[in-house]
Amino acid sequence: MAKQIQDSAYWIRRHEEKGASLASVGQKNYSDKANYYMYKQVIMRYNIVLDRLIPLSPLGRGQGEGRQPIKILDAGGGRGIFLDLFLQRKYQVTLVDISPAAVAKVKAAYGDKVCAYAADLTEIPQDKRYDIVHCFDVLYHILDDDKWAEVLKLFSKIAVRYIILHERFLKKTPYIMSKHVKFRPYNMTLEKLQSLGFKEVDSVSTHFWDCRLPTYKISAFMPRFFYQLDRLSLSLLDNIGLTHWGSYHIKVFEKTKI
């Protein structure tokens, strides 16, 4: 229980301390300029993923006159880095985050365009349904394994079609980690989601150079250079089918029985 309380308290405090800075949700030791380029890179790669969702399955409910908008839950969405992307696609967006300060920023910026509320991820109402449940760089900040599994189980209940996750997805647990993170082997995530009725159907890397241990401190001082370098590197990896070489990935999991 103590670990769960630390999880929540850390992010509530961090949002309060960092205020309007992008470090409230991004790399906490990066400047706003460095975080800006990091997120610009990520959002560019998200467009690739979202463009491919419709061919994967008949999800295009938001395409064409008279169709219902695609409903998406941004779980642990912080100050709403992805909201413009989702709204541009005419998604009906709900955002939940543990930080009241972050949610207040979202409400001030977006008003009734987004349904936003503050709550722990385990407190998301289970009677709600979303075409997509999206969770960016959140699950590895849950230190307690039971709570981590509980959140994935909840996602599986409320996701009608897709769960989209972003993180490092490592083969093995790293020996050294910051106190506020817990990276789990990707197979642990995959096996859990498979047991809950989901399969991986897509994977797109979001970084190559700028978020690796030897270079991430350097990229903080040369963000635009590393942004351009990563764009070139990731495009090359896409073309030769080696996207798995990236350091972080967006992974799409589709419900096997609708």
Query: Which residues, listed in sequence order, are joined to residue 92 by a DSSP beta bridge?
Result: 71
Give the number of residues written for the chain. Answer: 258
CA atoms lying within 13 Å on the CB side of residue 211? 20
CA atoms within 13 A on the CB side of 223: 15
CA distance 213 to 166: 18
Predicted TM-score (pTM) of the model is 0.87
Half-sphere exposure of 130 (CA within 13 A, CB side): 26
Taking only the tens place, the pLDDT of each residue in 61-97 is 545 555 688 999 999 999 999 999 999 999 999 999 9
Task: Select from 48, 52, 86 the least CA-distant residue to 235.
Answer: 48
Domain 2-29+67-206+249-255, classified CATH 3.40.50.150, yes or no: yes
pLDDT higher at 35 or 89:
89
Cβ(40)–Cβ(82) below 8 Å: no
50-59, 154-163, 172-181, range with greatest mean pLDDT: 154-163
Residues 250 and 49 sit within 8 Å (Cβ to Cβ): yes
What is the arithmetic mean of pLDDT over 108-112? 96
Cβ neighbour number for residue 24 with a 10 Å cutoff? 21
Q: Measured between alpha carbons, how far is 113 from 87 in angstroms, rounded to an integer?
A: 8
pLDDT confidence of 28, banded at 50, 70, 90?
Answer: low
Residue 94 CA to its chain's centroid (Å):
14
Residue 107 structure tokens: 């409400």
